[in-house]
Amino acid sequence: MSSAVESTNKPVPDDGTGVLQIDPWLEPYSEGLRQRYAAYKKTLDFINEHEGGLAQFSEGHKKMGLQVDENGGVTYREWAPGAAEARLIGEFNGWSHTANPMTKSPYGVWECYVPPKSPGVSAIPHDSMIKISMTLPSGESIDRLPTWITRVTQDLNVSPVYDARFWNPPETYKFKHGHSTNSIEGLKIYEAHGKSFGISSPNERVTTYKEFETDVLPKIKDLGYNTIQMMAIMEHAYYASFGYQVTSFFAASSRYGTPEELKSLVDKAHELGITVLLDVVHSHACKNVLDGLNEFDGTDHLYFHEGARGRHELWDSRLFNYGHPEVLRFLLSNLRFWMDEYMFDGFRFDGVTSMMYRHHGMGVGFSGGYHEYFGDSVDIEAMVYLMLANRMLHDIYPDVITIAEDVSGMPTLCRPVPEGGVGFDYRLAMAIPDMWIKLLKEKSDDEWDIGNIVHTLTNRRHLERSVAYAESHDQALVGDKTLAFWLMDKEMYDYMSDLSPLTPIIDRGLALHKMIRFLVHALGGEAYLNFEGNEFGHPEWMDFPREGNGNSFAHARRQFNLVDDNLLRYKYLNEFDKVMNQLESQYKWLSAPQGYVSLKHEGDKTIVFERAGLLFIFNFHPTNSFTDYRVGVDQAGKYKVVLNSDDKRFGGHARVDDNGEYFTTPMEWNGRKNWLQVYIPQRSVLVLGLAQ
């Protein structure tokens, strides 16, 4: 574990109460912890006894679905206990309902074997269309896409319904690089393409995997990010659903290219030293019947709970039955598939709040009281699945990274499973971007509550890592605006050129955009996430082609061309992002203990804190610069400037001498052993480090 998140040295009890050693306030809820851990152990014991352990149980993708042997023969297996008859149909057999019948096991698994056309030649042509056809007990015949299918395509000129493809290319992509072995610490995450992969270029069309590999990966590397979080890769119902209505869990979205091209992209990222995380949606599934999991075998309850418990009212989707062994096999194997077949290095689990509670977080305002996290509202089966998933991933893949999207603040979410935790490495600090948008929408600069800003950035659970971020992809969607647009929308179209006057609005926007990002980076967590485009102040909002906007791509793109134009001021924000990341890589504050805040002055609008041996001084005051401003610092010595947001190269005014020296005086100030004095201009941040 890191210096920021440590384990205790005490023996860990084997009943799920080990987490009490780091949080004694959980003691009144120890019985709930025991019950949760007992349910996990019961399921794990069942898997160990009947399935040969978690590792073997989670390799369903190597047995289920379409499996090709060395001779070219194809075995197809599908769990569909509700069907009375089943057969494999497709272009290969003229869609015959008699050529390839399937037999049913006592456990409801259907199977058939398609012998090779000739030695080594499959009778099912590569990329040809296939389906499973089933007869229900009522006599009705239904056709479905195989649930474990790895390739589906969509021809919107014909129908929005997907076609299943038998993906068996003569040459598969051979990885040159294995999984990333980057440290779990110091994650600087570039959230690629927001909610959908295809926005990653200035072009008004869907961007391809290949274009992202060639054009965007080098930008991410140059900016100093060491991790990519890829969204909307699992095939989903339609483009404007932002990737969250998954239809085929084992299929990489065909909108952006082929499976082999996605593998090449991941491999190239690894070559550049970048860790690649997949946004995995196991919180719910698309309710589509013809090309999804819904009513797959004609029943309401195959992969999902039946009735109201199996439906998410707000998302209009289906909810998994995490208590069923075959559902666990499907989901755990899905994680292994993406790790093994595509070499992803870990996952950001979407919608974890919805999973953990029977109310799914709808209509509930979490206050932080521990009683909200234990009791009847908690979905123990879903919690057990998350514990199994994290245990399995961390046991098999030593360098795996898992991040939970949870707005509730569930205690123990990011503690190891053997302690009684849920096992995630990080949680998203979702309150932080909400705070900034609320400030920019509702408050003038002189009304900003400095104490509340600091509280929001530092209010995280002890010894549980957080991913801090300033801008959420949700806030950039149509109906809202990016941070830069909230700051400068009145003048971004006319005054972002260096050839135009630096107006007060643009000057304020550039300054605050840098300060907001940097404060979040340095104080907000143990990892930092940037939403694609925020590094250079992407304007406007994000909106995907849909009927309501005339199917326009105008706002479904990232305008990297704005950075490349040397006459535009976006280059200053981009350069600041790069230097900010480089500085973290040098001093490693994300791996250090939480920053010590010595000053949060409401009148001066200043924030001063120390972290990783650096002294951070923020002046958010809209008009006042301070000369000989006294700040406390623990370590004595001579300090130098290591970052100054007012530097000319960042679009600033160069009001601070970057070669200045700052000497400490040994007298207590704001609870620190020493003090020094600085000139800190309005709307700027100064970072000092000890001179060598």
Question: Which positions are annotated as active-site residues?
Answer: 350, 405
* Integer Cα distance of 650 and 575 in angstroms: 6
Q: What is the 3-state secondary structure (H, E, C) of 9-76?
A: CCCCCCCCCHHHHCCHHHHHHHHHHHHHHHHHHHHHHHHHHHHCCHHHHCCHHHCCEEEECCCCCEEE
Q: Is 114 helix (H, G, I), strand (E, B) or coil?
A: strand
Which of 313, 290, 309 has its CA nearest to residue 301?
Answer: 309
Phi, psi of 142 (to 5 degrees): -130, 145
How many CA within 13 A on the CB side of residue 219?
A: 25
Phi, psi of 223 (to 5 degrees): -75, -15
Q: Is 530 helix (H, G, I), strand (E, B) or coil?
A: strand
Which of 648, 632, 535, 523 has its CA nearest to residue 584?
Answer: 523
Q: Report yes or no: 645 and 598 within 8 Å, Cβ to Cβ.
A: no
H or E stretch including 654?
A: none
Q: Secondary structure of the chain: what % helix, strand, coil (to 5)? A: 30, 20, 45
| Length reported for the chain | 692
Check residue 216 and report its DSSP letter.
Answer: I
Q: Is 308 helix (H, G, I), strand (E, B) or coil?
A: helix
Q: What is the 3-state secondary structure (H, E, C) of 564-621?
A: HCCCECHHHHHHHHHHHHHHHHHHCHHHCCCCEEEEEECCCCEEEEEECCEEEEEECC
